[in-house]
Each structure stands twice: as structure tokens, then as C-alpha cells.
Amino acid sequence: MAVEKVGEHYKCNVCGNEVTVTKVGGGELVCCNQPMEKVSG
């Protein structure tokens, strides 16, 4: 899932890392070799 806007929140379902988008640059967030899941935003 590509990052679309500032303020989106993503979580890694493997290790639990959480990320909040502060600048959109395109692409997909990956952690533990798996795409991060969008949880809100």
C-alpha cells in the first residue's frame, strides 16, 4: 500500500513498530521484510 498523505499511521504486524507519515514521498513502508499495515489516517 503506497503512502498517500501526511498523518497516516502504519504498524508492523511482526515487531510492532509504528510510523506516522510526516512527508509524502511515495513508495511503500516495509518493516521486517513485510509491508506495514495502515491503521488510520
pLDDT tens, position by position, 10-40: 999 999 999 999 999 989 999 999 999 999 7
Place of cell 491503521: 39
- At 41 the pLDDT is 57
pTM of the model: 0.85
At residue 5 the predicted structure's pLDDT band, cuts being 50, 70 and 90, is: very high
Tell me which DSSP letter residue 34 carries.
Answer: E
Q: Round to whole Å and give the CA distance between 35 and 32.
A: 8
Measured CA to CA, the distance from residue 7 to residue 13 in angstroms comes to 19
Taken in order of first residue, the domains within the chain and their CATH numbers are 9-40 (2.20.28)
